[in-house]
Copies of this chain bind each other. A is one copy, B any other.
Amino acid sequence: MVINPNTTASMTDDVIAGARAAAAPGTELIGSTAVRGVESVETNVDEVWGALAVLEQVRRGEALGVDGYVIACFGDTGLPAAREIAGGPVVGMTEAALFTAAMVAARFAIITLPPRTREQSERVLRLTGLGHRTTVRTIDAPVTEVAADSLHLLDAVAEQGQEAIRADAAEAIVLGCAGLAALTVPLSDRLEVPVVEGVAAAVTMVEGLLAQGLSTSRVSTYAAPRELGI
């Protein structure tokens, strides 16, 4: 199940379309959109509502017998809580994108939007420890602008990508928003470096964890929570 923490179903559709190409033949991808919450996750307040929407969707997924989950929001909103209540593995698009980029490039750049979300990227960089190989660049456009389509941002993203290659010695690009998935191929063609789309990356990571018979450790941090009755 690919969980979109916001309520914009068109973003879920776009993300699923991109991820399906990367999914294995036997994998059934279920796109899930928040029933209530926010239209896009840009602010810290949005993240609170997004995390709640993630929880609700994981519960629905557990009822459906879902094997594993992808959180399709840059910043991996709600990831720690989802791990506690999901029986199967849960992977965030951000951590998946960073780990993927680290296997194809010595250094890379995240291009995210809008600028105020920079700290979401920094938070995952602190968690994964990959900050020493990464720079963060931002595009001044709201997430809602990419809800329907992101191709009109290709020039802006490509410009930041070229700067990253030139000034930051980046060798790959991580798309810093699920809404930018449609840029993966055209940007890669333009820049001639790997362009990593986190949802596709996370889908393959979940497949890999399942194939290894691995799921979240229940020892401490992600042990099952007590019943809340909420």
Contact = CB atoms under 8 A, between A and B. Distances in A.
Interface in A84-105: 84-85, 89, 91, 95-96, 99-100, 102-105
Contacts of A51: 48, 51
A37 to B, nearest CB: 7
Given A44-B80, A45-B228, A205 B106 contact: no
Q: Count identical subunits in the complex.
A: 6
Contacts of A47: 80-81
A128 B115 CA distance: 21
Interface size bracket, A side: 35 or more
A10 interface: no
Given A217-B194, A230-B38, A119 B106 contact: yes
Given A104-B217, A128-B102, A45 B81 contact: yes
A158 interface: no
Interface string A187-230: 00000111011001100110111011111111111110110101
A219 B192 contact: yes
Contacts of A165: 219
B208 A204 contact: yes
A14 to B, nearest CB: 16
Nearest to A129: B129
A220 B169 contact: yes
A81 B104 CA distance: 13
A23 interface: yes
Interface of A: 21-26, 36-38, 42-49, 51-52, 55, 78, 80-81, 83-85, 89, 91, 95-96, 99-100, 102-107, 115-116, 118-119, 122-123, 126-133, 138, 165, 169, 171-172, 192-194, 196-197, 200-201, 204-205, 207-209, 211-223, 225-226, 228, 230
15 contacts: A44-B81, A44-B83, A45-B81, A48-B48, A49-B228, A89-B103, A91-B103, A100-B208, A123-B127, A129-B129, A169-B220, A196-B214, A197-B212, A204-B204, A204-B207
